[in-house]
Structure 1
Amino acid sequence: MTPKDTGSQTPSPAAVQVRTEGDVDEETLTYLRAKLSAVLDRPGLAPVGGEVRIARAAAHHAEQPWSAGAEIRVGSELLVVHAREASAHELADRLQDRLRTRLARVVHREDTARRSATPPPWRGGPADGRQEP
């Protein structure tokens, strides 16, 4: 089967395309979009865009026929997440958990990392020895 682009039906600031391959029903897509929106529609988050690919294997003997891959850009960071599960709802839940974890790392890194210390007085810092907030 050829992949089809299902787009995003909910008005959301997150411009994330959902693409499917195989036999994926509308209920599964609705559930997946709700999970993605719960993670990505946060106030104060940098602009979000990207793509999520959902595939269902045609082989009946596959233990985990559902697979997903997501490449989502949040500001200048790229989040890449992969998951395989036995059912569509488990896949959406796993994808949500992994995206939430990766997004928390990015937000935390932007908040706290790469902050420089106040320079000492001989390098132009405050002369009274106190650090500025």
Structure 2
Amino acid sequence: MTSRDTGGHAPATAAVQVRAEGEVDEESVAYVRAKLTALFDRPDVGVIGGEVRITRAAAHHAEQPWSATAEIRVGSDLLVVHAREASAHELADRLQDRLRSRMERVAHRTDTARRSATPPPWRGGPSDDQQQGRAERTP
């Protein structure tokens, strides 16, 4: 079982390496790479780098011989995703869905619009008197 390094061709996926182990054909690797390119080639995604490992089990009797592990760094967050499926196309689709949901979770968590501008008075924020005085001073 040898490992093949098949780095991405697109600029956004250049930092994400796709590695294949076992009996993985080039068509399967290309399909996974296309799914990753569709996921990462967006202006709002700041992918720094990572690696996706695709493995096909040598045992032909396995129900889900295809497995993938992705470790992608998006900003300061590390996304780790595991998937197992019966075919390479199902694996790529599952991997894309799981990575997309993790990326949306990271983006939603860092969204500053969800945070309140000032804390309430019982949490150390300004009291009602201080807020009224500040409102009168502003033109």
RMSD: 2.2
**Distance in 2 separating the partners of 1:93 and 1:47:** 19
1:78 has 2:78 as partner: yes
Match of 2:61 in 1: 61
Q: CA deviation at 1:47?
A: 3.4
TM-score of the two chains, using structure 1 as the length reference: 0.85
Moved over 6 A (4+): none
Aligned to 1:99: 99
Partner residue in 1 for 2:121: none
TM-score, normalization by structure 2 = 0.82
Structure 1 gaps of 5+ residues are none
Judge conservation of contact 2:6–2:17 (CA < 8 Å) in 1: yes
8 Å CA contact retained: 2:12, 2:37: no
Unaligned runs of 5+ in 2: 119-124
- Per-residue deviation, 1:116: 5.1
Instruction: Give the aligned length.
Output: 127
Work out the percentage of aligned pairs sharing the same amino acid.
69
Structure 1 distance, partners of 2:108, 2:114, is 11
Query: Structure 1 residue 85: deviation in Å?
Result: 0.3
Tell me which amino acid in the other structure corresponds to 1:11. A
> Higher helix proportion, which one?
2
Structure 2 contact 47–72 (Cα < 8 Å) conserved: no
